[in-house]
Amino acid sequence: MTKTTTQTVRIAGQRMRLTTRNGKVTAKPAPELEWKLQAAAVRALKAMPEFGRQFLLAGDMASGKRGPKAQMQAIATGLTPGDPDLRIYLPEGRIAFIEYKTSTGRLSAAQRQRHADMARLGHTVEVVAAATEDECAAATVALVRGWLAGNNNQQNAARPEITLAS
């Protein structure tokens, strides 16, 4: 029987994923952390000249690790499993939402349900899946620029890394 194990470690300052199979170890770069992708996107959005004039943003760490008491408090005060990572406040009372995933990440069942419920109420929810911080930042800026222009269909067609949540 083949036993495979994986672990993520730092080698020379780089995150690497080590896989051991039948006594043989292989190393390859580990996927970027989701929070780092989101942080890069937020930095890029805040650097846009439109930020603060044509749009605002707010994010949260809904997926953060919590003890039982902190989890109870978060839920009691309105934290909802599956809520998107970033809110974009747009002109004319519009609000749009972005969910971030690594290039290998998948939506959880709670996220799929929550995003579908939000879409049913008419809210825009987009998923940005990226492998690098630069890719994520560029995709997010393009997405928000499309929303500001009022024509995100054209923007989405040009960027296959962004998909509508289902």
pLDDT tops 70 at residue 156? no
Same structural domain for residues 127 and 88?
Answer: yes
Number of domains in the chain: 2
99-130 burial code (b ≥16 CB/10 A, e <16) = bbbbeebebeeebeebbeebeeeeebbbbbbb
The better pLDDT of the pair 83, 157 is held by 83
Same domain as 132, residue 106: yes
Residues 60 and 99 grouped into a single domain: yes
Tens digit of each residue's pLDDT (9 = 90 or more) over 43-56: 999 999 999 999 99
Averaged pLDDT for residues 69-95: 89
Confidence bin at 92 (pLDDT 50/70/90):
very high
19 and 92 housed in the same domain: no
Which residue has better confidence, 66 or 27? 27
Instruction: Please write the tens of the pLDDT for every residue from 101-144.
Output: 998 899 999 999 999 999 999 999 999 999 999 999 999 999 99
Residues 39 and 103 in one domain: yes
Domain region containing 2: 1-30
pLDDT over 90 for what percent of the chain?
A: 61
The pTM score is: 0.78
CATH code of 78's domain = 3.40.1350.10
SS3 of 26-94: the string is: EEEECCCCHHHHHHHHHHHHHHCCCECCCEEEEECCCCCCCCHHHHHHHHHCCCCCCCCCEEEECHHHC
73 and 108 in one domain?
yes
Question: Is pLDDT at 152 greater than 60 in this prediction?
Answer: no
